[in-house]
Amino acid sequence: MIGELGHFALALAFAFSALLAFIPLIGVARGHGGQMALARPLTYGMFIFTLISFIALVWGFLANDFSIAYVANNSNTALPAIYRFTAVWGSHEGSFLLWMLVQASWAAALALFSNRLPLVFAARVLAVMGMIGVGFYLFMLLTSNPFERTIPLIPVDGRDLNPLLQDPGMIIHPPLLYMGYVGFSVAFAFAIAALLGGRLDSAWARWSRPWTIAAWVFLTLGIMVGSWWAYYELGWGGWWFWDPVENASFMPWLAGTALMHSLAVTEKRGTFKSWTVLLAIAAFSLSLLGTFLVRSGVLVSVHAFAADPTRGMFLLGFLGVVIAGSLLLYAIRAAKVQSHSRYDLFSREVLLLGNNVVLVTATVVVMIGTLLPLFFQQLGLGNISIGEPFFDEMFMWLTIPFAIILGLGPLTRWRRQGFSEIRNSLGLALLLAVVLGFALPWIFADVVHGLAALGLILALWVVFTTVAELRMRVASREHKLPALVKLGRSHWGMVLGHLGFAVMVIGIAMVQNYEVERTVRMGPGDTFEERGYVFSFEEMYEWQGPNFISDTATFRVTRTDGSRVGIIKSEKRFYTVTRQMQTQTGLQVNPFRDLYIALGEELEDGSWAVRIHIKPFVRWIWGGSILMAIGGIFSMTDKRYRLRRRLRDERKREHDAAEQEAKA
């Protein structure tokens, strides 16, 4: 009964989205305020019924209702309650319902805050959200109903959730990721609404910017959690695999990062408008493309959901309508956009554009790398694999101009910057970066790897130019500290974001060049020494978990001088229902290195193949991502986005814009 209720609620949500897609637009066309105002309640309706549907599925899992096929395939009575909850998004149908809930939540949040927008604009934005909803709800109802029944053959127990997904990381990774993916639909809706209305201006950029940053923050965190999860859960010690599915999440992130920066220019200088709109369309289109790649089975990936050509067809059709439609609208409208602002080659505008060029190039790299194997096959050119060696090489090259520009940008003024004014700061930053970039590895490691030094120099360049920029801002002040605090959240957001990037680059450069991976044969009582650490295999014991049996090995780690470092427990689990083996990595961490132990196979004589990794600075990769996300949070909570000031500003802006239009 609850299952049918969920299904019915989903159908109602679809109905609401369909109404939302056109009633407000009719209102706009007719100038009918009432119809435009309907956008809000319709959005709430869509949200509420999606929520009901989602709750129904959650209930199915918590109550072990195996008459629902999706529950039976992804859960089990022995599964701990928290994983019965996360199993909701453990496979295609449920994860898509989560996606829908996220989409509806963004729409509802938009409706909630939309009273700050002009009614016409709000109506358009919400209608676009409705249109997107129509496609997604139809997709669910027609091809991916999570409430399908197993009647009359109701299984006694479920097939259990994939052991890989029975992990705390999986509780938050998909929701965060989807918040990011779908969040770009808000930026997209703003862009389409602006194109429909033919008004691309700073006001539009200002409205859309906090939403874009919010989505970007979620996506950053989502990708970060995914990387972190893959690192400890898969037991291979990698933190990024360049798998098509990972790339699918990375492309919108790159485009979104470009969008965030481009929006800043459009908001502050009123220029790059058509470019910014294109990026807004691109970010969401890439999210959709990612969804298609993951759920259609056109690419070979370990992550992909079970392939189903009908789903692929539907998604591709939807993709075609949304993307082609919006790009057509873009071509027609953006060609007419004029911009009169003026800037020199050495100016913040150009550097931000340069940043965009690098980010777009990076997106192109990922896109070609992901799709080319498919194109090759279509063209009869045979099979190729594009993976880590290619991407690593490309991204190394891309990081160089990116970091250089990133260091220069904040120091540079809008419109025009004389080089001589900042020459000294830049020179000092460069000198310090180069010296420390070589000195640090030389002091702390036995060999200086060229690539590690390069990474450090680039990262330190970003750090020192950021410091220089902060110094410049307070140079003329008597009280430096209060002046720093007064810089404003948006400014601090930028600073944190850039520092986060530097931290991440340091992490990557160090772990790529200085990590150690050893596979050793060890049994209880054995010790192994590497890089000043002594790993002692103390004991091996078996214990029974809720739905698995675990072989757990205990390692004691000491320094060569005998001082204690810690205990590492590493497990090999056998999940009894799914009959799958699962490695639980053991970790001992501090900010500068991870000691990482994964159990391999049990060997004949009772000893084990033990994989020991020492990973210097690996944590900085995720730390840097978190710092970037915090930077984003700072930016989006800047006071200029807050209600009162905004209202005042917007009125003024609208007044200005109207005046301008009248003159034109």
Partner 1 sequence: MMKQLLLVMTLAFTFAIGHAAASAEFYEFETAEQERRFNQLAGELRCPKCQNQTIADSDAPLAQDMRQRVYEMVMAGESNQEIIEFMKVRYGDFVHYRPPVNRSTLILWLGPLLAFVIGIVVIVLNVRLRRHDDSELTPEEEARMRQVLANSDIDTNTDEENKEEHKQ
Partner 2 sequence: MNPKLKLAFFLMPLILFLLVAVFLFKGLFSDPTRLDSALVGREVPQFELPDLYQPDVIHDNRIIGQRPLLINVWATWCPTCYAEHTFLNQLLAEEQVYIIGLNYKDDSRGAAVRWLQNLGDPYAINLFDATGLLALDLGVYGAPETYVVDQHGVILYRHVGDLNERVWRREVGPIYYRAMRDAGLPIPEHRQELVL
323 interface partner picked from partner 1, partner 2, none, CB below 5 to 8 A per type: partner 2
Binder of residue 609, out of partner 1, partner 2, none (CB less than 5 to 8 A by kind) = partner 1
Cα–Cα distance between 349 and 270 in angstroms, integer? 11
Within 1-154, residue ranges assigned H as helices are: 2-30, 33-37, 39-62, 69-74, 81-86, 92-113, 119-143
Identity of the residue, 133 or 222, whose beta carbon is nearer to partner 1 in the bound complex: 222
- Residue with Cβ nearer partner 2 (335 or 664): 335
| Residue with smaller CB distance to partner 2, 374 or 581 | 374
Burial class (CB in 10 A: 0-12, 13-18, 19+), 29: exposed
Residue 120 Cβ vs partner 1, minimum distance, rounded to whole Å: 22
| Interacting partner of 413 out of partner 1, partner 2, none (Cβ under 5 to 8 A depending on kind) | partner 1
Query: How many whole angstroms separate alpha carbon 257 and alpha carbon 242?
Result: 19
Q: Does 518 bind partner 1 (CB under 8 A)?
A: yes
Phi, psi of 611 (to 5 degrees): -95, 115
Q: Considering the complex, what minimum distance in angstroms separates the CB of residue 375 from partner 1?
A: 9
**91 versus 103: smaller Cβ distance to partner 1:** 91
421, interface contact from partner 2, partner 1, none, CB < 5-8 Å by kind: partner 1
Smallest gap from residue 452 Cβ to partner 1 (A): 16
State the Cα–Cα distance between residues 85 and 269, nearest whole angstrom: 47
Is residue 517 part of the contact set for partner 1 (CB under 8 A)? yes
The listed partner (partner 1, partner 2, none) that binds 334, CB under 5 to 8 Å by sort, is partner 2
Q: Of partner 2, partner 1, none, which one sits near residue 420, judging by CB under 5 to 8 A according to partner kind?
A: none
Tokens of 321: 């309508």
Return the number of the residue (229 or 314) whose C-beta is nearest partner 2. Answer: 314
| The entry of partner 2, partner 1, none that residue 374 binds, CB within 5 to 8 Å by partner kind | partner 2
Under rule CB under 8 A, residue 316 binds partner 1 = no
Q: Which is nearer to partner 1, 17 or 91 (CB)?
A: 91
Whether residue 252 contacts residue 184, with contact meaning beta carbons closer than 8 Å, is answered with yes
Residue 497 binds partner 1 (CB under 8 A): no
Nearer to partner 1, 30 or 423 (CB): 423
Strand order in the sheet with 593-602: 516-522, 608-616, 593-602, 586-590
Residue 313 within binding range of partner 1, rule CB under 8 A = no
Phi, psi of 550 (to 5 degrees): -120, 135
Give Cα separations from 440 to 104, 230, 396, 550, 567 (angstroms). Answer: 49, 29, 20, 42, 29
CB of 159 to partner 2, least distance (A): 21
- How near is the Cβ of 282 to partner 1 at its closest, in Å? 13
How far out from the chain centre does Cα 58 lie? 25
Please choose, out of 75-83, 224-232, 285-293, 431-439, the segment that lies near partner 1 by the rule CB under 8 A.
224-232
Query: Segment near partner 1 (CB under 8 A), from 315-323, 434-442, 483-491, 540-548?
Result: 483-491
CB of 398 to partner 1, least distance (A): 8
Per-residue binding letters, 379-398, with partner 1 (x by CB under 8 A): --xxxxxxxxxx--xx---x
Compare residues 88 and 323 and give the one whose CB is closer to partner 2: 323
Q: Which does 320 bind (CB under 5 to 8 A by kind): partner 2, partner 1, none?
A: partner 2
Give the Å distances, CA to CA, from 523 to 195, 551, 555: 67, 13, 10
Binders of partner 1: how many residues, by CB under 8 A? 101
Q: Which residues bind partner 2 (CB under 8 A)?
A: 274, 278, 281-282, 285, 292, 296-300, 309, 312-313, 316, 319-320, 323-324, 327-328, 330-332, 334-335, 371, 373-375, 377-378, 382-383
| 475 bridge partner residues | none
- Applying CB under 8 A, among 35, 220, 249, 513 the residue interacting with partner 1 is 249
557 residue type, one letter:
V
Q: Which of the residues 136 through 165 are near partner 1 (CB under 8 A)? A: 162, 164-165
Pick 142 or 324: Cβ nearer partner 2:
324
How far is 373 from 382, CA to CA, in rounded Å?
9
Residue by residue, DSSP assigns 483-508 as HHHTT-HHHHHHHHHHHHHHHHHHHH
Nearest Cα to 508, choosing from 457, 456, 462? 456
Binding of partner 1 by 487 (CB under 8 A) = yes
Site for partner 1 in 404-463 (CB under 8 A): 413-414, 421
Establish if 236 lies at the interface with partner 1 (CB under 8 A): yes
Q: For the CB of residue 82, give the shortest distance to partner 1 in the complex, in Å.
A: 18
Angle (CA) 501-502-504 rounded to 5° is 65
What is the edge-to-edge ordering of all strands in the sheet holding 527-530? 527-530, 533-544, 548-559, 564-575, 580-584
Compute the least distance from the CB of residue 629 to partner 1, in Å.
17
Applying CB under 8 A, among 603, 643, 647, 658 the residue interacting with partner 1 is 603
What are the two backbone dihedrals, phi and then psi, of residue 150, each rounded to the nearest 5 degrees?
-95, 0
Residue 194 CB, shortest distance to partner 2, in Å, is 15
Tell me which residue has tokens 């990612």: 290
CA atoms within 13 A on the CB side of 104: 31
651 exposure class (CB count in 10 Å sphere: 0-12, 13-18, 19+): exposed
Q: Cis bond leading into 152, ω under 30°?
A: yes
Q: Exposed, middle or buried by CB within 10 Å (0-12, 13-18, 19+), for 452? A: buried
Q: Pick from 118, 197, 312, 488 the residue near partner 1 by CB under 8 A.
A: 488
Told to check if 529 binds partner 1 by CB under 8 A, we report no
Sequence-ordered list of residues with C-beta below 8 angstroms from that of 638, at least 6 positions apart, any chain: 488, 489, 490, 493
**DSSP 3-state assignment of 611?**
strand
Nearest approach in angstroms of CB 195 to partner 2 is 11
Q: How far is the CB of 137 from partner 2 (least distance, A)?
A: 22
Is 370 a residue that touches partner 1 (CB under 8 A)? Answer: no
Which is nearer to partner 1, 63 or 381 (by Cβ)? 381
Smaller CB distance to partner 1: residue 65 or 246?
A: 246
Instruction: Identify whether the C-beta of residue 137 lies closer than 8 Å to the C-beta of residue 13.
Output: yes
